[in-house]
Amino acid sequence: MAKQSCCHKKKLRRGLWSPEEDEKLMNHIAQYGHGCWSSVPKLAGLERCGKSCRLRWINYLRPDLKRGTFSQEEEDLIIHLHSLLGNKWSRIAAQLPGRTDNEVKNFWNSYIKKRLRERGIDPATHQPLAEPAVAPAPATTTVSRRAVFGDVDLIPTTTPIQAAPFEGPILDGVTKLPVDMDWPVAEDGVPSSSLSRPCYLQGACFDMDALQQHHCSSIPGPVVPSASSYSTLTSMAEAEHCNTNITGGSLPWLELGASAVADAGHVDSCYAGALDELRWSEYFDSAFQAAASQQGALQATGQCVYGGKDDVPVHFDVHGLSNWC
C-alpha cells in the first residue's frame, strides 16, 4: 500500500490556497519568522502541513519574488545554466534573483523546451536533434561560431566524458558571460554517434567561445544583464577582474561594473550565497589560465575549450577543478 503524504495522514487541507490562508501565513511569518516549518501551521492557525506552508511561502508569498514573465536575458541564462547543470533547478534559480526553482522548472518545461526543439536542439542534451539520413558535410565549413554544441561534437575527446555533473557553482562569474543564444540547427549532419554525451563541461567550451567572441567584437551587441541581478553583476565584475589576462580586453557590458552594482541596491542577505560562490569563478579562472598556458600541449586529457583563433581547440585538464573544494 502506498505511503500517504503528511497532509493525508493528518487530514489537513490540500489544494489551492485561499487568500485568507495566504494572509494568515504572511502575517505569521512577518511577525515571528517561519522558524521550524512543521510548527508554522499550528502557530499560524492553518490546517496545512508545514511542508505545504513552506512551499507556498517560497514559491508565492515571499516578498522578494520577481513574478511576471522571464526576460530574454533570464531565458538565455536558464538555457545556458541548464546546459551546464542539467535539471538542477534550485541551482539555476539561485542565479536568477527573484525566481524560484519551481518557476524556472515550469518555464523550462512549458516554454524553453519547445523553443529549443523548434531550433533543432535537443533540450535534454543541448545537442542538435538527430536527423535521419543526413549526408555528412565538411566538418567545419557551415557551422558558425555560434554553433557551439555542434562544434563541440567535432572535437574528439581522448578520455571518457565524466558522467557525473560537475558539482559546485562551476562557472559562477564565467557562466554569466553574455552569450549569443542563436543556436544552431543540425544542418550539417553531425554524426549522431557523438551527440549523446553529457555536456556539462561542453558548456565550458561554450563560455570560452563566447568570451573569445567578445574579445573579437564579432557580435553586434552585448546582452546586458538585468540591473536587479545583483549576484549576476557582481559575479560578472569578478569574472572581468579575473579574465583580463585571458581575453586581453574587457567585456563591454562589464563597464557597468561597480557603479551598476551599487545602483542595484543593498547587498541583500538572499544573495550572500551567490557571493560566496564567487570563489569558484576565481578558481575556475586560475584553472583556465593554467590550461591556456599549456595550449597546444597534446598531453591534455580533459575537455575542450574553444579559446584560440581559427577554431583551434584549446584543452585543459578539468581534473584539477574537481579536486578543488
Partner DNA sequence: AATCTATCCAACCGCTTTTAA
Partner DNA sequence: GTTAAAAGCGGTTGGATAGAT
Question: Which residue in the set 28, 29, 46, 107 belongs to the binding site for DNA (CB under 7 A)?
Answer: 107
In one-letter notation, the amino acid at residue 311 is: D
Helix, strand or coil for residue 10? Answer: coil
Nearest to 122 by CA among 178, 194, 177: 194
Q: Cα 159 from chain centroid?
A: 25
Task: Give the residue with the Cβ less far from DNA, 52 or 127.
Answer: 52
Mask for 32-61, x = binds DNA (CB under 7 A):
---xxxxx--------x-xxx-xxx--xx-
| Rounded distance between C-alpha atoms, residue 148 and residue 183, angstroms | 7
198 binds DNA (CB under 7 A): no
Q: Which of 28, 82, 91, 126 binds DNA (CB under 7 A)?
A: 91
Residue 270 interacting with DNA (CB under 7 A):
no
Closer by beta carbon to DNA, 175 or else 212: 175
16 binds DNA (CB under 7 A): yes
The reply to whether 185 sits near DNA by the rule CB under 7 A is no
Q: Which residue from 129, 126, 127, 152 is spatially nearest to 140, judged by alpha carbons?
A: 152
Residues in Cβ contact with 204 at an 8 Å cutoff, skipping those fewer than 6 apart:
84, 170, 171, 174, 303, 305, 318
Query: Could you tell me if 152 and 265 are in contact, meaning their C-beta atoms sit under 8 angstroms apart?
Result: no
Residue 8 backbone phi and psi in degrees, to 5: -65, -45
**Which of 55, 134 has the CB closer to DNA?**
55
The reply on whether position 322 binds DNA by CB under 7 A is: no
Q: Which is nearer to DNA, 59 or 322 (CB)?
A: 59
Residues that bind DNA (CB under 7 A): 2-5, 7-8, 14-17, 35-39, 48, 50-52, 54-56, 59-60, 87-91, 101-103, 105-107, 109-111, 114
